[in-house]
Amino acid sequence: MGNELDLLGQWPFPREELEKMKEGVYIPREKILRFIHGKKNNTRIDFYVSNDLFHVGKMVIPAKGSSDIEVHNGDEVIYVLKGTLNTRIYNNRASKTSVINEGYLIYEDEKFLIPRGLKHRYFNFDDEPIEFLLAVASWKNSNSIIQSREDENRAKDEPEFGLSIPSWQGKYPFSPEEKKPAVLRKQDAISMIYGREPDEIRCYIYISTDEITLSDYWICPGAKFSPPDIHTGDEFYYVRKGTLILTNPDTGRTYEIKKDEAFLIPKNIWHQGFNFGNENVQVLTIIAPSLWSTEERGTEIAYTKKPVRFTGRLQA
Ligand SMILES: [Fe+2]
């Protein structure tokens, strides 16, 4: 038996295997890579995915607990699932003994961006454990920045609707040059309607840097999104509400992903989601490095800018 730590970077499968499989990977509880994290302060981390593009896991901080200080070579995004997360961001220029640092409060269902290279620490000041999804873009993925700059230049000449990458891709809430920590609340989301009549669904984009994108989408009971989707990065799904039925239209393989379960859709794999249940399905999605490129996009998109507006069968 090898060391569990050796599995980091190739969980649930190394890239070569994913490429051979040409299929998504269902990640139920039994397929989670679990660790105790931290030297001084112990937290729990459940990794769903750890590969060459991103590391995605759920962190649990016990009541009145905290993490060690950490720093990553990639942008980090957070989605708070349970409780209220306090974070402290250390000013890299401040002296080591400084007692004053910026703090951020992230409530349940809110999102947080920590740009690469910033030292940070998580705190739980409450009596209940807190849980949050976190994803860190992989530092190995150095061409993502170049890619998004190319797209940016091209996007200037393209119409706002129709076949185009959306104007926010790679630069929300900040462009690569201006990135800083940010808490993203519901009202900060960019609303996007994905799909073609009558199969539109609503999506909200919270964070889209040149390395990683965090969003969620909703499917009403009995609905689906169409056409199927495909991305230039790996996509991680976490079902927050309801039961998602997900199919790969290329192979016909179909999966049932229940609340609090996860799924990995490797890059360039088609996927289409359905809701056969009687409550809304909410799926949190994290994509690294990029959603769509103007070269390889396989899908038509139309999106709306703020303010958020819904029509017809799209319901709250
Ligand atoms: Fe997708």
**pLDDT tens, residue by residue, 155-173:** 444 443 444 678 888 999 9
Say if 265 falls within a structural domain. yes
What percent of the chain has pLDDT above 90? 72
Say if 294 falls within a structural domain. no
Q: Does residue 120 share a domain with residue 172? A: no
Q: Does residue 163 share a domain with residue 63? A: no
List all residues 6 or more positions away from 28 whose beta carbon is below 8 Å from its beta carbon: 261
- How far, in Å, is the centroid of ligand 1 from the Cα of 285? 8
Predicted local distance difference test score (pLDDT) of residue 149:
41
Q: Does residue 283 share a domain with residue 148? A: yes
Choose among 122, 133, 44: nearest CA to 85: 122
Say if 12 falls within a structural domain. no
- How far, in Å, is the centroid of ligand 1 from the Cα of 269? 9
Contact between 223 and 280 (Cβ < 8 Å):
no
- How far, in Å, is the centroid of ligand 1 from the Cα of 7? 26
Q: Does residue 276 share a domain with residue 155? A: yes
* Euclidean distance between the first and the last CA atom of the chain, given in angstroms as a whole number: 49
DSSP 213-281: EEEEEEE-TT-B-SS-B--SSEEEEEEEES-EEEE-TTT--EEEE-TT-EEEE-TT--BEEE--SSS-E
CA-CA distances (angstroms) from residue 186 to 116, 166, 170? 24, 20, 19
Say if 274 falls within a structural domain. yes
Q: Does residue 213 share a domain with residue 79? A: no
Residue 58 has pLDDT above 80, yes or no: yes
Task: For residue 172, give the DSSP letter.
Answer: B
Choose among 76, 57, 170, 165: nearest CA to 118: 76
- How far, in Å, is the centroid of ligand 1 from the Cα of 163? 16
- How far, in Å, is the centroid of ligand 1 from the Cα of 122? 29
- How far, in Å, is the centroid of ligand 1 from the Cα of 108? 24
- How far, in Å, is the centroid of ligand 1 from the Cα of 99? 43
- How far, in Å, is the centroid of ligand 1 from the Cα of 237? 9
Residue 143 has pLDDT above 60, yes or no: no
Q: Does residue 206 share a domain with residue 90? A: no
- How far, in Å, is the centroid of ligand 1 from the Cα of 160? 20
For residue 201, give the CATH number of its domain: 2.60.120.10
Q: What is the pTM of this model?
A: 0.85
Q: Does residue 104 share a domain with residue 169? A: no
Distance CA 125, CA 42 (A): 15
Distance CA 288, CA 144 (A): 9
- How far, in Å, is the centroid of ligand 1 from the Cα of 75? 20
Residue 277 has pLDDT above 60, yes or no: yes
Least confident piece of the model among 100-109, 159-168, 260-269: 159-168
Q: Does residue 279 share a domain with residue 153? A: yes
Identity at 126, one-letter amino acid code: D
- How far, in Å, is the centroid of ligand 1 from the Cα of 291? 8
- Of 119, 137, 155, which marks where a domain is finished? 137
Residue 12 has pLDDT above 90, yes or no: yes
- Looking at the 3D structure of the chain, how many domains does it have? 2
Q: Does residue 278 share a domain with residue 148? A: yes
- Of 108, 137, 166, which marks where a domain is finished? 137
Domain with 283 in it: 144-288
Least confident piece of the model among 19-33, 91-105, 173-187, 285-299: 285-299
- How far, in Å, is the centroid of ligand 1 from the Cα of 156? 24
- How far, in Å, is the centroid of ligand 1 from the Cα of 228? 8
Q: Does residue 155 share a domain with residue 128? A: no
Least confident piece of the model among 80-94, 124-138, 217-231: 80-94
- Of 100, 121, 137, which marks where a domain is finished? 137
Q: Does residue 133 share a domain with residue 150? A: no
Query: What is the dihedral angle through the alpha carbons of 120, 126, 129, 132, rounded to the nearest 10 degrees?
Result: -40
Say if 293 falls within a structural domain. no
Least confident piece of the model among 36-50, 126-140, 144-158, 162-176: 144-158
Residue 197 has pLDDT above 50, yes or no: yes
Q: pLDDT tens, 201-244?
A: 999 999 999 999 999 999 999 999 999 999 989 999 999 999 99
- How far, in Å, is the centroid of ligand 1 from the Cα of 289? 13
**pLDDT band (50, 70, 90) for residue 41:** very high
Q: Does residue 164 share a domain with residue 268? A: yes
- How far, in Å, is the centroid of ligand 1 from the Cα of 39? 36
- How far, in Å, is the centroid of ligand 1 from the Cα of 273? 9
**pLDDT band (50, 70, 90) for residue 308:** very low
More reliable by pLDDT, 155 or 28: 28
Say if 307 falls within a structural domain. no
**pLDDT band (50, 70, 90) for residue 139:** low
The highest-confidence range among 35-39, 234-238, 298-302, by mean pLDDT, is 234-238
Say if 316 falls within a structural domain. no
**pLDDT band (50, 70, 90) for residue 145:** very low
- How far, in Å, is the centroid of ligand 1 from the Cα of 316? 21
* Mean of pLDDT over the chain: 85
Say if 18 falls within a structural domain. no
